[in-house]
Structure formats: C-alpha cells, structure tokens
C-alpha cells in the first residue's frame, strides 16, 4: 500500500492500493485546520506617551542650576536635593524613566513618583528604568557632596502591550502569556515577559515571575527560567538561564549567567560570565570581564577569574596549565637587580589554615571535619619585600606565585656562581640567540660580576664598576683579564697581572 499524497499541515495523505483487490481505504483526505492566533497593534509593542519633563517643569536646590532642556547641574560641596515642581505622576501608573549624568565616579539617587532608584554611580550613557509610581509626586534628586555633574531626565507614561495569548488556571489566574511582533523579531512567552518592549529587537524570553519585566529598548537578550533579567531595560546580548538570574541588571551588556541567584549584583557591568549557585561578584562595585565558576565563586576585581569559593581546599586537573610568557607579548623587559638575597632572607614561610575551613570545623557537630593545614606565605610579609608581586583586590591581598619563583631562580643562579668561583669550575650560559657564552667570573666585594666573552667589551662606567672582562689568548698572545675600576680617581679598564 502506498501514499498518493504528500502530508502537509492542511491535507492528510490518501492511501490506496497499487495492486490487488478488495482493499479498504484508511483515509479520505480530511481537512486539518491549523490554529492561527493573530495579535493586534496593541499586542505588538508597548506604547510611550509624550515627554512629561517639559517647559512647565522646574526644579530648584542649593548648588543646582539649569533647566529641563539642557539638564540640571550640581556643583560639588552640597548634598541639598533638587526637587521638581509642575510635575505630578499618578500613583499606580507605569513610567519609563531615562536619565543621563556625566559624573561616573560619584553617586546620585533618584526618587521619582515615590520610587527610589539605585544610588550607585551612574554611567555616562543614558540609562532607562520602568517604574510603577507609588505616590502622586514629581522627582527628587539626592547627590553626594562630591557629585559634580549635569543630569538630563526624561519621564514618559508607558502602556504595556496586550498578550496575544494567555494561559489561565481553573480559577482564572493568568499563568502564562505569549507575545510576538514582526518588526522586532521578539519571541516572548511567560507572564509579563517583554510587555514593556518598545524598540527592542531580537529578544527571546521563556519564563515566569517577571522575566524581562522592564525590558524596553534592549536587543539580542535571552532569558530562560524564573525571574530572569527582570530589571533589564536597555542591555544588549545578555543571556540568563535558571532562577533569579541577572535580576539587578539594567543596562549592562554581553553578560552570561547560568544557575540560581547568579550575577545579581551586576547592574551596569559588561562581559561577565558566571556559572553556579550564587556565582558572581557580591558587591555593587560594577565589574567587567570577570569569570566565576562554582558555588559562591565571587570575583573581586575586573578582568579576574574565580574558580570556586573560599571553602575549596583542592584543585585537581589533568593536562598542563600554560601561562603565556612569550617575549613578543611583553615590553619594558629588564633583568632583576640582585640584592644579595636580602628579600629572600626576610621572607617567612608559614603553616596556616584558611579561616573558612576553621569555621566549618567549628560548626561540624559530628567532629569528623578538621581544617586542613597548608604551607606557604602571607601577602603582608611579602608586600614590603617584593611589592611588585603583591596585588590589592578590594579588601584582600593576593600573590603572584610566578614572581616568587623568579626571585628564587635569581638567588639560585648567584649561589651556583659563588660555588663555581670557590671550586674553580668554569661556567657557561646560553645567550639570547641560543649560542653558548663563556662567562668570566670574579668576586667583587663579596658579590659576583660576570661578563660573556662573546660580546663587545663595553665602556667602563660607574654602572658596570667591578665587572671583569676576559680576553682570550692564543699561541702567540697571552690571555688577559681586565677589571672596570677606579685608580687615582679615574675609572677605566685595568689589566690584572698574572704570574
């Protein structure tokens, strides 16, 4: 039995017999109607009302001047508020608030329609928020004393789009909604997901509990899960998967967060990646280009990678971790000056336990957990001795362990040279071009000065005083050795007499 019709959304195939007799027809091309749910102009995008901060709106305050058209300017030295008059928002109505200031260091707080916005330092670019007014008031701007900048403010009434389709429970409660619009290419499924989108494009949202609740102009964002990116208004290319992810984000871009309660302190930071429960920075200092992997992994500075939290006691891996060290990637290269091992002499190696491990042991009622003991250093001990390998990251110090190794290798080289002098053993080293250089060796004031014989003899100056230079001889010419030294107040190369 064969099919004489191709299956499609509208027509089922008709089955007939190509051979034989007394056959039964199984189907007779019934018409299948594909349900089409078509929206309207009201369900395509949210609509914005006219600008409310217009010529009729004024604002006054000590150390403030300006107007609605050019912005209000605050001079440092006062914390007096800028309070509006001629503007009254309606409690319960929803507004899109856009503000710009040009002081990205010092913070300012906004109270608009009874709603207080975050008091972190604002970015230079315009930032938008969606608020539901709680009081019939205008706006109040509260600066810090050091704030010195120009603030431009825009407030518009926003009417959310109507869902194209809703899914309700048996008691009539709306559980999910669906929205779609052609111009923006947005696909939005979930209660309130993207209902304030105005000009944002190419956003995909599947979730609940206000995911994409405030999104208006943002583009290329993806939110999948519960309560994701609910404060994002204008961010670009952010991806969140999980529950309560990127909930604080308003205008940051190119962030990726996966898990539960992930990257929630990030508001305007960009290029951050966090994977795992509670992963991401834990302060409102806006960081960028951080990577956090694991439970409570919390980077403390931009351009930082954090694996795990303070309870992690061991890191195992297969293969090799390579640190880039190509000279072509470096500049300002110079040899480390030898200090006679003074820094190393004052380094104190210690045994220690992490405080977090001790706290875990103290709280372990079974008595089976003991805080591990480690061997290493403290940054506070190294900082005055080798300050270039100690870094301050927020409230904590960290150590460049490769830097410690460099000083250790330097000291080992000098020890080998001392041994070579004492034992009369010649030493060789490779030059930068890969060939072997003979090294002349001499003790000068208890230290060593070395010079490769394959190089051109340099001018004798204070900077190389004490350097010995060996001149190779032959069957017809004696070998010679010279030292760069002062004689009768004059510095120059002086021959050393051999017997």
| DSSP string across 330-396 | --S--PPPP-TTHHHHT---EEE--HHHHHHHHH-TTS------EEE--HHHHTTTSGGGEEEETTE
Number of domain units in the chain = 5
Among 7, 8, 25, which Cα is nearest to 16's?
Answer: 25
Do residues 288 and 215 share a domain?
yes
CB atoms within 10 A of CB 238: 27
Do residues 484 and 382 share a domain?
no
Residue 117 lies in a domain: yes
Q: What is the pLDDT of residues 419-456, one digit of tens each?
A: 766 655 555 554 455 444 555 555 444 444 555 555 67
Do residues 54 and 24 share a domain?
no
Question: Which helix (H) or strand (E) is 437 found in, with range?
Answer: strand 436-444
Q: What mean pLDDT do residues 230-254 have?
A: 93
Print the domain residue range for 23: 1-34
Would you place residue 8 in the very low, low, confident or very high pLDDT band (cuts 50, 70, 90)? very low
Q: Given the DSSP bridges, would you call strands 427-430 and 436-444 parallel, antiparallel or unpaired?
A: antiparallel
Q: What is the pLDDT of residues 281-317, one digit of tens each?
A: 998 888 999 999 999 999 988 999 999 998 887 888 8
Do residues 203 and 301 share a domain?
yes
Question: Residue 449 has which token pair?
Answer: 């000065």
Residue 480 lies in a domain: yes
Do residues 155 and 78 share a domain?
yes
Do residues 198 and 258 share a domain?
yes
Which CATH number does the domain housing residue 79 bear? 2.60.120.260
Asked if pLDDT for residue 55 goes beyond 80, the answer is yes
Asked if pLDDT for residue 152 goes beyond 70, the answer is yes
Residue 329 lies in a domain: no
52 vs 102, residue with greater confidence: 52
CA–CA separation, 341 and 354 (whole Å): 29
CA–CA separation, 96 and 74 (whole Å): 24
Q: Given the DSSP bridges, would you call strands 165-168 and 427-430 parallel, antiparallel or unpaired?
A: unpaired
Asked if pLDDT for residue 219 goes beyond 90, the answer is yes
Does this model's pTM top 0.85? My answer is no
CA–CA separation, 187 and 204 (whole Å): 5
292 and 309 Cβ atoms separated by less than 8 Å: no
Which CATH number does the domain housing residue 366 bear? 1.20.5
Q: What mean pLDDT do residues 66-70 have?
A: 91
Question: Residue 292 has which token pair?
Answer: 């956090």
Among 255, 256, 261, which Cα is nearest to 276's?
Answer: 261
Do residues 204 and 255 share a domain?
yes
Do residues 300 and 200 share a domain?
yes
Q: Decide which of 251, 281, 307 is a domain's last residue.
A: 307
Angle at 68 between CA 62 and CA 73, to 5 degrees: 40
CA–CA separation, 352 and 245 (whole Å): 36
Question: Which helix (H) or strand (E) is 166 found in, with range?
Answer: strand 165-168
Question: Residue 145 has which token pair?
Answer: 């004393």
Q: Decide which of 363, 387, 402 is a domain's last residue.
A: 402
Q: What does the pLDDT read at residue 381?
A: 92
Q: What does the pLDDT read at residue 4?
A: 44
């Amino acid at each position: 039995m064969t099919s004489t019709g191709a299956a499609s959304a509208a027509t089922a195939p008709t089955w007939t017999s190509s051979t034989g007799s007394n056959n039964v027809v199984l189907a007779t091309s019934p018409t299948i109607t594909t349900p089409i749910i078509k929206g309207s102009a009201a369900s395509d995008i949210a609509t914005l009302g006219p600008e409310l901060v217009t010529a009729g709106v004024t604002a006054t305050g000590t150390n403030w001047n300006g107007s609605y058209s050019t912005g209000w300017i605050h001079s440092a030295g006062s914390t007096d508020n800028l309070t509006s008059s001629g503007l009254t928002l309606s409690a319960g109505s929803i507004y899109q608030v856009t503000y710009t200031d040009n002081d990205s260091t010092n913070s300012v707080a906004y109270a608009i329609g009874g709603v207080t916005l975050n008091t972190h330092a604002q970015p230079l670019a315009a930032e938008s928020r969606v608020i539901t007014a709680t009081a019939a008031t205008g706006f109040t701007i509260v600066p810090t004393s050091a704030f010195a900048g120009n603030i431009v403010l825009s407030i518009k009434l926003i009417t959310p789009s109507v869902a194209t389709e809703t899914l309700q429970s048996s008691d009539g409660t709306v559980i999910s909604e669906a929205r779609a619009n052609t111009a923006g290419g947005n696909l939005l499924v979930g209660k309130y997901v993207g209902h304030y989108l105005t000009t944002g494009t190419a956003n995909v949202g599947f979730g609940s509990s206000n995911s994409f609740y405030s999104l208006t102009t943002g583009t290329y964002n993806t939110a999948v899960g519960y309560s994701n990116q609910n404060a994002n208004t204008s961010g670009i290319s952010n991806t969140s998967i999980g529950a309560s992810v990127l909930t604080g984000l308003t205008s940051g871009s190119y962030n990726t967060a996966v898990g539960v309660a992930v990257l929630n302190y990030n508001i305007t930071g960009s290029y951050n990646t966090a994977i795992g429960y509670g992963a991401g920075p834990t302060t409102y200092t806006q960081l960028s280009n951080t990577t956090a992997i694991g439970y409570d992994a919390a980077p403390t500075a931009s351009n930082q990678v954090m694996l795990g939290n303070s309870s992690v006691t061991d890191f195992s891996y297969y293969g090799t971790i390579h640190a880039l060290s190509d000279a072509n990637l470096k500049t300002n290269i110079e040899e480390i000056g030898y200090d006679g091992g003074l820094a190393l002499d004052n380094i104190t190696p210690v045994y220690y336990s992490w405080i977090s491990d001790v706290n875990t042991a103290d709280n372990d009622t079974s008595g089976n957990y003991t805080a591990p003991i480690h061997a290493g250093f403290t940054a506070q001990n190294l900082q005055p001795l080798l300050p270039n390998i100690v870094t301050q990251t927020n409230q904590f110090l960290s150590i460049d362990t490769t830097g410690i190794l460099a000083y250790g290798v330097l000291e080992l080289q000098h020890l080998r040279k001392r041994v070579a002098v004492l034992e009369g053993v010649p030493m060789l080293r490779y030059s930068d071009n890969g060939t072997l250089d003979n090294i002349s060796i001499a003790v000068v004031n208890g230290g060593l000065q070395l010079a490769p014989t394959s190089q051109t003899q340099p001018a004798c100056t204070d900077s190389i005083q004490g350097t010995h230079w060996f001149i190779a001889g032959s069957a017809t010419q004696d070998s010679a050795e010279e030292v760069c030294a002062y004689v009768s107040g004059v510095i120059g190369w002086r021959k050393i007499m051999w017997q």
